[in-house]
Chains A and B, each alone.
Chain A
Amino acid sequence: MFDLDLFLKTLGIMLNLRGILILLSGTVIGMIFGAIPGLSGVTAMVVLIPMTFSMDPVTAMLLLGAAYGAATYGGAVPAILINTPGEPPNAATVLDGFPMSQQGKSGTALGAAATASTLGGFLGLIVTFCFIPVMAKFVMAFSYPEFFMMTFFGLSIIAILGEGTLLKGLAAGGLGILLSCVGYDPMTSELRYTFGIQYLWDGIEVVPALFGLLAIGEVMDLLVKKKPIADHKRSKAENSGVWSGIKATLKQPFLVIRCSSIGTIIGAIPGVGGTVAGFISYMHAKQTCRNNENFGNGDVRGVIASEAANDAKEGGALLPTLAFGIPGSAGMAVFLGALTLHGIDTGQDIFLVNMDVVYMLLISLLGCHIVAAMIGLSLADKMALLTKIRPVLFAPILFLVCLIGSFALRNSIGDVMVTLIFGLLGYEMRKFGFSRIALILGLLLGNMAELSFRQTLMTEAGVMGFFTRPISVILFILILLSVFLPFFQTYWRRRKNEE
């Protein structure tokens, strides 16, 4: 299976001046695309594909792989600094990353994100490699009931978000699920709740809503409070530099391994999506770590969990591609498209005939993580200064960037309106202690949960499908455990104290 000779030969293509320059430029472009809200790794590749026409397919893979891989790290930067994930899969990073910035520890958060991304990317590929012998069975084991349970798992994180009360979290999540029903019915194509507005046909786009809720809401709050993000009075933290972030990550090897495995497995299932990976991994970290009361208020382990899973998922997304020639993520789909343009057949046998292309993809995904981590770590302290700028100087620019970003997404002025409306909503939610992430989870996963639930009902097993399939049952038990365990723990602790 593994052809060392060919692997080294492919590595050689990268390890010369031209190769390294291509890797470097791909990584920088990817990081910039990832960091700008509204642009993503997929956009970076689509823009770069025409430039690869003059290259051979292997070199093209180097450029595209680097740009795509680096974008996921780039996306963590605005999530930490300005509460706005550069791409939806970075959404879970916001939970602890931004509170860390508020405490003046953005250097630590950025360092941890860079390290966790790199390790996650590596481990994801290793886990993927272990799964190759059973990949076809593995991918086939996930059907509609499992899809539903995965999205349900993602939704159940609302219970443990910790911002505001549980009731407020559920209200926000419920509103999100209701909003996700807008647009045409995914099964029957009937229009629902569109009020004759054509923009709403396709539902409320998640990314502009995300910018509004998180970024615009934050901008308004900054301008009202007139204080920089990192509040000096609160930032008494020592060791707030990049190195403490690296150390914090390296001190948690098992957490990184567990979260990367979660990311890889979820990434391998086409149709579930990377955003769920980040959230489930975050939830797992919160529930398995000791002294977890600080999660949601700036615990570096939250950042580590989310970023490790987020980068590991691309390794997982290779599995269905290897097994069936079916891309596991939007990024993989664009990779396959680019290969077709280079005249390479992208069926299963790409792994027999054009193995060098696959090796180059692996090498570039790994290489770009290293380069991105170096760039990210050397700039982290400088980027952290952003959180100390007076809001009047910085907030208007951020406001504009978000509006342009949401316009750039699909060239639609409707998206900009969504950003503005959700911005107002986000500000009010923040003021009254409703979790904005809960609303985003509802909006993001509501539709997927509904679709996979109804698809399950259409299968022969019907509703029993949820309880007769082993993986679905295990997931269901895990959901129950993760939702109710914290309550029992508090209850037990209280009883112990009483005794």
Chain B
Amino acid sequence: MKKNFTLLALVIFLATVTFFSAIPASNAEEYPSQDIRLIIGGKPGGGFDTYARAIGRYMKKYLPEGVNVIVENRPGAGHRIAITMVYNSEPDGYTIGMPMMPGLYFPQVIEKQKYDMTKVTWLATILKDPRVIAIAPNSKFKTLEDLRKADSVRIAIVGFSSETDVILGNEKLGINATYISGHKNSKEGVLAALRGDADVVGFTFGSLRKFILKKQLIPAVVYGSEKRIPEIPDVPTIGELGYPELTPLLGTYRVLAGPPNMPAERTKFLRDAIWSTFNDPEFIAWTKKAKRPVEAVNGEETEKTLKKVMADYEGYKDLLKKYIK
């Protein structure tokens, strides 16, 4: 009997909570009048989480009194759980997400997903992090030329969908790669290379920076940056090697986006608030202190760039399909 009562109490409690959280925004003119949820696919303490929490903290200034940005972590399935939640939420401007591109686009090319990246509402780019193909010091390969000539280069990756762009770059440069996937994160992949289980890693410059600057890894080529990276000026970009058309397709875009069909005025409000946050002196000071660089691009530009990236990837579908089932 006691147990039944407790269960009943739980049900009532849950029902109340659901009821109150489900009240829709009553009046369009008052937007935003309640907290904005920012759903991210990264775990607490990780890169996505750190960016999201900082943006949330400083964006509060540009929102009406009493409106907060609440970060929710929904890790899993390579950010697909988080984007599915955002995609299928009410397009009222109260739920936004922080997807990574093009990693989330490729799964939908291969198989129908419960989201469609071509339809989401793009709000801003926080940063496009280029990738560096870096060689382990005790590998038999020393230079990019060695990699292009080799019969088989072992590359440690996290997963095929998160590193689609690396595969594309390698295919174009003629690097015959064997991918060892399943590493939990870039750090485990780097460790595999340092141990000698892989010759090469191809993670973002942000996550490889300290290993490269300390000469633990030798950078060979940069994917996805138009200019050379200032900290490693001797390393060529894939554009210089004759494939400038690939540059926008490679690298990881960290972006902010909302569900499809958001009302135009709410989209504009969010784009403006985010843009003001990115230009806020306190936020900029934070990015320097926390070593989390921001290269902001506004919503319209982000939309244009990513739509083109997604259209271009269609052309490489067959090339990539042999790796991704």
Residues on A close to B: CB < 8 A?
42-43, 45-46, 49, 139-140, 143-144, 183-184, 186-190, 198, 201-202, 223, 270-271, 320, 324-327, 333-334, 337, 340-341, 343, 345-348, 392-393, 395-397, 399-400, 403, 410-412, 451, 454-455, 458-459
Contact = CB atoms under 8 A, between A and B. Distances in A.
Contact of B45 (A140, A337, A410, A451): A337
B188 interface: yes
Contact of A337 (B50, B77, B196, B325): B50
Given A143-B195, A184-B77, A46 B214 contact: no
Contacts of B77: 183-184, 201-202
B45 A271 contact: no
A455 B180 contact: yes
B74 A201 contact: no
Contacts of B291: 340, 343, 345
Nearest to A331: B45
Interface stretch (B2-10, B89-97, B230-238, B305-313): B2-10
Contact of A198 (B6, B75, B84): B84
Interface string B103-114: 000010000001
Contacts of A345: 210, 291
Contact of B191 (A202, A326, A412, A458): A326
Contact of B74 (A45, A326, A411, A451): A411
A182 to B, nearest CB: 12
A43 B107 CA distance: 31
Nearest to B78: A189
A198 B180 contact: no
Contacts of A144: 197
A110 B284 CA distance: 50
A202 B75 CA distance: 9
B190 A326 contact: yes
Contacts, number: 114
29 contacts: A143-B192, A183-B77, A184-B78, A187-B181, A189-B181, A189-B324, A198-B114, A201-B77, A201-B81, A202-B75, A202-B77, A223-B3, A324-B191, A326-B188, A334-B44, A337-B45, A343-B290, A343-B291, A345-B210, A347-B214, A348-B214, A392-B2, A396-B3, A399-B3, A400-B10, A411-B73, A454-B182, A459-B180, A459-B197
A140 B194 contact: yes
Given A43-B44, A348-B214, A202 B72 contact: no
Contact of A451 (B10, B72, B182): B182
A198 B5 CA distance: 32
A403 B14 CA distance: 12
B195 A201 contact: no
A346 B290 CA distance: 11
A189 B3 contact: no
Given A348-B214, A393-B2, A410-B76, 4 more contacts: A326-B187, A410-B74, A454-B182, A459-B154
B182 A410 contact: no
B304 interface: no
Nearest to B180: A458
Interface string B164-197: 0000000000000010111010011011101111
A395 to B, nearest CB: 7
B301 to A, nearest CB: 29
B230 to A, nearest CB: 18
Interface residues of B, number: 48
Contact of B44 (A46, A186, A341, A393): A46
Interface of B: 2-3, 5-6, 10, 44-46, 50, 72-78, 80-81, 84, 107, 114, 154, 159-161, 178, 180-182, 184, 187-188, 190-192, 194-197, 210-211, 214, 216, 289-291, 324-325
A400 B197 contact: no
Contacts of B187: 270, 326-327
B75 to A, nearest CB: 7
Contact of A399 (B6, B84, B159, B180): B6
Contacts of B325: 188, 190
B204 to A, nearest CB: 16
A325 B210 contact: yes
A477 B254 CA distance: 47
Contact of A46 (B45, B78, B160): B45
Contacts of A198: 81, 84, 114
A459 B196 CA distance: 10
Contacts of A190: 325
A333 B10 contact: no
Contacts of A451: 182
A236 B181 CA distance: 56
B323 to A, nearest CB: 9
A324 B194 contact: yes
Nearest to B53: A50
B236 to A, nearest CB: 25
Contacts of A201: 76-77, 80-81
A399 B3 CA distance: 9
Nearest to A205: B76
Contacts of B5: 396
The residue among A334, A392, A396, A397 with the most chain B CB atoms within 10 A of its own CB is: A396
Contact of B160 (A189, A393, A396, A403): A189
A400 B6 contact: yes
A496 to B, nearest CB: 48
Contacts of A325: 210-211
B81 A202 contact: yes
Contacts of B160: 188-189
Contact of B188 (A45, A189, A270, A400): A270
Nearest to B209: A347
Most buried by A among B154, B180, B197: B197
Closest 10 CB pairs of A and B: A202-B76, A396-B6, A201-B77, A46-B44, A334-B45, A186-B182, A347-B210, A187-B182, A337-B45, A451-B182
A100 B43 CA distance: 37
Contacts of A270: 187-188, 191
Contacts of A400: 6, 10
A184 B79 CA distance: 13
A346 B154 CA distance: 28
Contacts of B191: 139, 270, 320, 324, 326
A346 B45 CA distance: 15
B274 to A, nearest CB: 22
Contact of A324 (B45, B196, B216, B290): B216
A184 B182 CA distance: 11
A31 to B, nearest CB: 20
Contacts of B211: 325
Contacts of B181: 186-189
A169 B196 CA distance: 38
Contacts of A403: 10
B161 A189 contact: yes
Nearest to B54: A341
Contacts of B81: 198, 201-202
A271 B290 contact: no
Given A270-B191, A271-B188, A400-B10, A341 B76 contact: no
A410 B148 CA distance: 44
A43 B49 CA distance: 13
A321 to B, nearest CB: 10
B114 to A, nearest CB: 6
Contacts of B10: 400, 403
A113 B46 CA distance: 32
